Amino acid sequence: MKTLKLDRRYNGPPASANGGYACGAFVVAAGADMSVRLLTPPPLDADLSVSQLGNGDFELASASGPVAIGRPSRLELEVPSPPPYVQAVWASQHYPGFNHHVFPDCFVCGPHRRRGDGMRIFPGMLETGIVAAPWLPADDLDAGDGKVAVEFHWAALDCPGYFALCAGRRTMVLGEMHAHVDRCVRVGESCTVIGWKLGADGRKHYAGTAIFDQEGELCARARATWIELKTAEPG
């Protein structure tokens, strides 16, 4: 059994971890390509265990009980072409989170996080129907080889899906995420992150996201399920 701890720096809501980062850290610890279903908000600064269940799935658990379940599987996802980098910059300047943000201190997309603290990925809508944002990965995201650690790719692939679905106008929580990193981008590289709608079924909404390097080559992609809450209170 392995253990991990989600540092308080990597929050989404104030009292829990960013969902994409938590899923990515779980996947790295498990050492498996898998889809992750969150069962409860991932706790910060808590000792979490990673274990394999009898059916082949993996479980992330705290002292209070299961936090997430990972099911080994292969991601199948068609990805649209990225916009030119200059268009991603333009879209980011029109990020709806600058005007209203449910969690303005989110490690990934929170506008209150300063450079060198948060990832500052601010996706805005393009005429093509996708959201896009530039991303310049900071040095402290380095896995030790000059490339961004896998769990931060998962984090970068999280929030753009939410803004593609509702432009920040609804309260949703990440329910399930499956990402695949084809090739890690380098720290300091001018990357582009996009998100797009895949569909909806009642309160369940589906989004795709992707990361492209400075040459416009696809490096990572993800499919996510977001759950729209019945009330205005964030969960």
Which domains, from first to last, does the chain contain?
2-72 (3.10.129.10), 85-228 (3.10.129.10)
In the structure encoding, which two tokens stand for residue 4, read together?
Answer: 């991990």
- Residue 198 has what pLDDT? 97
Which stretches within the chain are classed as H helix?
Answer: 19-30, 85-93, 150-156, 159-166
2 pLDDT higher than 60:
yes
What is the SS3 assignment for 38? strand
Share of the chain above pLDDT 90, in %: 92
DSSP state of 148: B
pTM equals 0.95
How many Cα neighbours within 13 Å face the side chain of 144? 0
d(CA 196, CA 165): 7
Farthest CA pair distance, the chain? 49
The torsion region of residue 32 among left (phi > 0), alpha (psi -120 to 50) and beta comes to beta
Q: Which residue has the tokens 């300091």?
A: 188
- Across the chain, mean pLDDT equals 95
pLDDT score of 235: 33
Q: Tokens in use for 92?
A: 């980011």
